Structure 1
Amino acid sequence: MPQKPKPLDDTKSARAWWGKELRNWRNARGLSSKRLGAKVHLSGTMIERIEKDERLCGAELAGRLDDALEAGGALRRLWRLVEKEAAGQCADADSSAPVRPQAGSVARDDGLLDGSPPGLAGLEQAAPPTVVRPEDIAQVLAAAATIAEWDNLYGGGGIVRSSLYGQLSWARGLLAAEYPSCLEADLFAAVGRLSIVMGASAFDAYEHEDATRLLRFGRLCAERADDWHLRAAALNWLARQSIWCGTPDDGLTHAENGLVRADRLTPREQAMLHNARARAWARMGRTGEALAAIGRSDEVFGLAQEGEDAVWMSYYDHAQHHGDTGHAAFDLALLSGQSPAVASARLTKAMDGYTDAYVRSRALSGTKLATLIMATGDPEEALTVAHRALDAVGRLRSNRAVEDVMTLSRECGRYADDAEVIALRERIVSAVRL
């Protein structure tokens, strides 16, 4: 039975009043939060958090919401009071001068603000503003969301690579600009989110040095913003990258670090980090610990509720959960001789459950499943799964996907005399060359 929406207190602030009016207009138009979000390219969860004054909203977004709800300018006019109140709060908090980052602050850690980022040398770059506004922060968040969407669709080695660093260059410049203290947490969280998305994309493209620097910088920004959810995301990607690069012990350390204050994380975020633990233990041949971590991940994921996560955690649905735990079970089956049944069942659910927005995830899980079946089961079944996975691989520029299909090709070697297997290996070679 759906829960009754939480009553909103419109007396706390102008922003709270605006959020309540947003909900009132949405209800008056008979729109769910999801349907309204679709009109302005946000998730329903984000709409609900804006209504509850838990997430940033700028003037531009306020105007788009006014248009989407056909409010006739009512929300735009009310937003002026929000801006007036914010200006007064910032003036009270910063009566002397706007904040500037101090020397040696997170803004310059890892050298990410020194010189031109990779791929930008000699190119003219747009200068960031000298004073940060809420709309600038909203732009950074929009860039992060777009990059994540492209990365899931096309992989980290496609058009994403050619556009990333220009956006980070502009966003990182905001950290060296003047900003009122009331915007500091939102600013560092937004830049941290962009850096983490870029780091994950660089990992997929095998630009590991850049990936490590970006993910570490994202973690530092998250900690500066006191955003434990964002910190967990950075540590999850650092863990996954370490495991992929052959240092599962480092990966386990990152995952355990992310769970230090698990009480501050949502069930999905906890499950995400337990998956990284499971994959690290599996790579180290520690079967009991890996199975326990998978079980713990299942347990906490079962407690997840809709609407409690940040919008960027929307990717972690049932398909992703089964895919991540299935990858750990895959390693247990091939490296430690465990039954392949658990891995096969989970990877099958993942491959069937991924939507068209997550092409790379479908490709990775499908390739793992085909490899597992080719190694332990019926090669004819493996061929069917493999060709389906290659349909997704062919749409990507992803070095992780390439490595996985090459592993599949090696497993095909045991059926070197089978004409259909030979044809599959030829298709793999063609897909890798393109």
Structure 2
Amino acid sequence: MRALDVGLNAGGVLVGLRERAKVEQRYRREKVIGGVVSPAVINGETMTSSFLGGSLESVSPVHRGANLEAPVVIGEGDRVDRRDMLKIMGATAAVPLAELVNSIGAAPVPRVLGMDHVQVILDSDKFITDWQHLHGGNVARHAAVAQLRNSAELLNCAAGPRVKTELFSALCRFAHTTAFMAFDACAHDDARRTFRFALSCAEEAGDWHLRAAVLSDMARQEFALGDYENSLTRVELALVRSDRLVATERAMLSALRAHALARLGRTAEAVSAIDVADREFADSDFPTNPPAISYYDVAEHAATVGQVFIGLASHGRFVAEAQDRLSIAMDGYGQAYARSRTLAQIDFALVAMKAGDPSQAVSVGIDAVAGASTIKSSRLTEGLRGLVHAGAGHESIPEVADFRHHVGAVVKSRDLVDKA
């Protein structure tokens, strides 16, 4: 130990640590055999039996975060500076710890696949889906990618036809969730690749419901990127053999079709598509819906159609319709869909600001900022940025000026986190 201490130029720190370990070991040994140990045994500090489970007051100062500048008395006249001690501890521990993490092996792949392995994927998807609805896609998406990679290894396992089909369905669901998280984080290349993998799995499984679900979110991504033609194409592909889909799925796809048509300037077709979406939604039989469309409830339909009316709103037209739908969405989303509710609030504030009601826009916008504070979503950040721009025409109003300043600061802070 002394040779290592000299080699690292530790100034006696490592030797001191070794001596301290010996003293503590002696304390524990004597404690086990029932001996009484004086507090002074441990470097003159209070080290009673309560150190291992008592109150904070009975723990020695070094374990309570005492002054790091104070010297530690270790043994026969040895004095060690605490900061030097911590530096040496960090220097000697960092490399081994990194090696330990890197040496952790991948999860073993079974030789024969069973439904229990498929269920693990479904359980993982459920957990990640619930998490990202509540907290956003930015935080846990890399963990989801890692789990998806491990799960995809199961494709190399021997399995019967039924289990293999179920595996493709489960992988599609998990990949779909992972892709949407990347989309939510504005990691669009990752999202596209993962969406394609999910779509391939859906087609291998022969699952029309999963296929429509994946294509619908691919359409949402293209729409967000301003490629309305490709967005419309994805929706039209999802509507192929619409007779195989349930009414709720057709309602969702018709609403997305209207969204793209509105931005392409095809107003009459967009309004007609909204009518179709509303009729299909009215025919929904929610208890029998497949899991892939379980999220599409009254609030989600109202939010989607509300966004269509935002695209149609001009010269005062469709503004009331947009606000009515978005109000339903804001009121309908529960806490489990915190991100969706906040997005609806942002959309409502945008409509109000553009419609000449800045006071209402600020009121709802403040709620949106508060809701976004616990959600790590780059899409939310972009929505808040849009609020700052939308308020530029009302800068002369003090409450709008203050609101824009506050939201601008929030956006800058979120940008730093999103890009970290």
Q: Give the structure-2-normalised TM-score.
A: 0.72
Residue matched to 1:323: 303
Q: Distance in 2 between matches of 1:220 and 1:427?
A: 45
Residue 405 of structure 1 and its aligned partner are, at CA, apart by 1.2
Residue matched to 1:215: 195
Contact 1:199 1:212 in 2 (8 A): yes
Residue matched to 1:398: 377
SS at match of 1:358: helix
Residue matched to 2:328: 349
Equivalences for 1:252-271 in 2 at 5 Å? 252-271=232-251
Residue matched to 1:189: 169
Residue matched to 1:429: 408
Residue 182 of structure 1 and its aligned partner are, at CA, apart by 2.3
Residue matched to 2:365: 386
Residue matched to 2:117: 136
Higher relative contact order, structure no. (Cα contacts within 8 Å, ≥ 6 residues apart):
1
Corresponding residue to 1:359 among 338, 349, 369: 338
Residue 338 of structure 1 and its aligned partner are, at CA, apart by 3.0
Contact 1:127 1:170 in 2 (8 A): no
Q: Across the two proteins, how many residue pairs are aligned to each other?
A: 313
Residue 173 of structure 1 and its aligned partner are, at CA, apart by 0.6
Equivalences for 1:219-238 in 2 at 5 Å? 219-238=199-218
Residue 127 of structure 1 and its aligned partner are, at CA, apart by 3.1
Contact 1:215 1:234 in 2 (8 A): yes
Contact 1:128 1:171 in 2 (8 A): no
Contact 1:367 1:405 in 2 (8 A): yes
Residue 146 of structure 1 and its aligned partner are, at CA, apart by 1.2
AA aligned opposite 2:338: V
Corresponding residue to 1:376 among 348, 355, 360: 355
Contact 2:210 2:292 in 1 (8 A): no
Residue matched to 1:200: 180
Residue 431 of structure 1 and its aligned partner are, at CA, apart by 2.5
Structure whose CA Rg is larger: 2
Corresponding residue to 1:412 among 375, 391, 411: 391
Instruction: Give deviations 1:257-299, integer Å, cap 9, x for gaps.
Output: 1111111111111111112111111121211111111111101
Residue 308 of structure 1 and its aligned partner are, at CA, apart by 1.4
Q: Distance in 2 between matches of 1:170 and 1:138?
A: 14
Instruction: Give deviations 1:86-118, integer Å, cap 9, x for gaps.
Output: xxxxxxxxxxxxxxxxxxxxxxxxxxxxxxxxx
Distance 1:122 1:278, change over 3 A: farther
Q: Distance in 2 between matches of 1:146 and 1:282?
A: 35
Q: Distance in 2 between matches of 1:129 and 1:221?
A: 20
Contact 2:213 2:292 in 1 (8 A): no
Contact 2:107 2:150 in 1 (8 A): yes
AA aligned opposite 1:169: R
Q: Distance in 1 between matches of 2:352 and 2:333?
A: 20
Distance 1:373 1:122, change over 3 A: farther
Residue 306 of structure 1 and its aligned partner are, at CA, apart by 2.6
Q: Distance in 2 between matches of 1:140 and 1:407?
A: 37
Residue matched to 2:18: none
Residue matched to 1:282: 262
Q: Distance in 2 between matches of 1:121 and 1:346?
A: 51
Contact 2:176 2:214 in 1 (8 A): yes
Percent identity (aligned): 36
Q: Distance in 2 between matches of 1:373 and 1:155?
A: 25
Residue matched to 1:145: 126
Q: Distance in 1 between matches of 2:410 and 2:130?
A: 23
Q: Distance in 1 between matches of 2:328 and 2:381?
A: 22
Q: Distance in 2 between matches of 1:319 and 1:381?
A: 21
Q: How large is the RMSD of aligned CA atoms in angstroms? A: 1.8
Residue matched to 1:64: none
Q: Distance in 2 between matches of 1:147 and 1:161?
A: 9
Contact 2:209 2:292 in 1 (8 A): no
Contact 1:191 1:218 in 2 (8 A): yes
Contact 1:164 1:198 in 2 (8 A): yes
AA aligned opposite 1:133: G
Distance 1:276 1:124, change over 3 A: farther
Distance 1:350 1:122, change over 3 A: farther
Residue matched to 2:73: none
Residue 404 of structure 1 and its aligned partner are, at CA, apart by 1.2
Q: Distance in 2 between matches of 1:123 and 1:294?
A: 53
AA aligned opposite 1:147: I
SS at match of 1:386: helix
